[in-house]
Amino acid sequence: MILFIILLSVLPKNFVSRYTFGLSKEIHVSETEVKFFSTSQEREMYLKQAIDYLSEHPERLLLGTGTGSFSYISKHIDDRLYPHNIFVEIILEFGILGLLLFIFPFIFLLIDFIQNKRTFTRVQFVNISIWISLTILFFINAQVSGDINDNRLLWFFMGGLIGLILFIMQNNTIRNINEV
């Protein structure tokens, strides 16, 4: 939690604005009306709609309803809506199988990190810790905002973390071979 608070205060505003924005009111002005609404209430409503749909249609849990289908379920139109929680969005649109495919890279990362933690130098461990922290930050962010495509920074830091761990493990293996 302390790391999360530090990251919120250090990172640029465009990285963290959605955390403070979620608690405020938003104003939309169009030619016909001025509309005030709470973004947190909208998010709660979308999340509830997705969960209600899944509870009413349990047969959709395994394979989901299809990419981008939340808009039709929510408003009966083809729009760019999403439930504002990456787990719920994935279960709704891709089912439990899609959720497993989403979770596996995180599990494999965790296993690789735990298995090789003792082989990392101090500098390597610090570098990996920074990448892990940023991946966690954007993973937490994905629980309150952004759809699968909008979470590019989550995918970027997760990919960077995978690359960094593989690079360090390969270098450590080469170093160990050269020492023998």
pTM of the predicted model, to two decimals?
0.67
pLDDT digits (tens, 9 = 90+) for 37-70: 666 777 788 888 888 999 999 999 899 998 888 8
Go through the chain and tell me how many residues it has.
Answer: 180
CA 172 vs CA 23, 41, 139, 165: distances in Å: 46, 50, 28, 10
Predicted pLDDT at 36: 67
Cβ–Cβ < 8 Å for 80, 46 = no
* Dist CA 24 CA 166 (whole Å): 42
pLDDT digits (tens, 9 = 90+) for 75-127: 877 777 777 788 888 899 999 999 999 889 888 888 888 888 888 889 998 99
Cβ–Cβ < 8 Å for 102, 148 = no
Token pair for residue 131? 């990448």
Element (H, E) at 25: strand 25-29
Backbone angles phi, psi at 178, to 5 degrees: -65, -30
Predicted pLDDT at 20: 52
